Amino acid sequence: MADNSLIEWTDATWNPVTGCTKITRGCDNCYAQRIAERFRGVAGHPFERGFDLTLRPNRLAQPLSWKRPRMIFVNSMSDLFHKQVPTEFIDQVFDTMEQADRHIFQVLTKRSSLMRSYLRGRYGDGTAPQHIWCGVSVEDDLATARIRHLRKARAAIRFLSIEPLLGPIASLRLEGISWVIVGGESGPRARPMDRQWVVAIRDQCQRERVPFFFKQWGGRTPKAGGRLLEGEEHNALPAYMEKEMNDAVQLAS
């Protein structure tokens, strides 16, 4: 687990699974793969196997030892709902998240139909607890089926990570969505993001009163283009979040 994450919309990362495979053009310049493959073949390194999918059961209990409440991005270096991750292992990840309810867990996937099915099987007619946020990555108009799957998922808090935003999204529907993040691509082959694509999403979020978070413009490095959209930062979070985290801090103190 990495505390003090450099990802603007979270506090820490927890990777009980690492490695993945590409399924969409949003994966083309995957930052996680780029990081992991640097260390392929380095004996004893956590990424000795590069970006090959790897279960890490020794990390399952990590959040239980973190006393200070945090927002935790689950599997920043993988996808929990990859087809090669056994359901029994996903169960153990959710067991930990349910026990460590002083934290907020942010579960993000591109395998939206698999997440929808898993949540239905685990929670039946109920929903995942409010401290387990479930989200999907969306990069362009062709990926909006993931949003439809998410709206049907048994989750109390649903969010969109529209990053890297690679084209306009004309058919964005926000019913049942609690939070929207937008960001541009970073890295040596970063594809540009048009200002109008971002503004259109921001304006729709404002009209529909959905909290909007602008992560970055992107570029060769994540910080290259800064975070200002029309002269200001946008850092909104789901409305109930601040109260929940404040209450958790008081209980832990």
3-state secondary structure the chain: CECCCCCCCCCEEECCEEECCCCCHHHCCCHHHHHHHCCCCCCCCCCCCCCCCEECHHHCCHHHHCCCCCEEEECCCECCCCCCCCHHHHHHHHHHHHHCCCCEEEEEECCHHHHHHHHHHHHCCCCEEEEEEEEEECCCHHHCHHHHHHHCCCEEEEEEEECCCCCCCCCCCCCCCCEEEEECCECCCCCCCCHHHHHHHHHHHHHHCCCEEEEECCECCCCCCCCCECCECCECCCCCHHHHHHHHHHHHC
Q: Is the pLDDT of residue 141 over 90?
A: yes
Q: Is the pLDDT of residue 1 over 70?
A: no
Q: Is the pLDDT of residue 248 over 60?
A: no
**pLDDT tens column, 51-93:** 999 999 999 999 999 999 999 999 999 999 999 999 999 999 9
Q: What is the pLDDT of residue 249?
A: 46
Confidence grade of residue 229 (pLDDT, cut at 50, 70, 90): very high
Q: Is the pLDDT of residue 242 over 80?
A: no
Domain boundaries, given as residue ranges, for the chain:
12-252
Confidence grade of residue 2 (pLDDT, cut at 50, 70, 90): low
Q: What is the pLDDT of residue 252?
A: 47
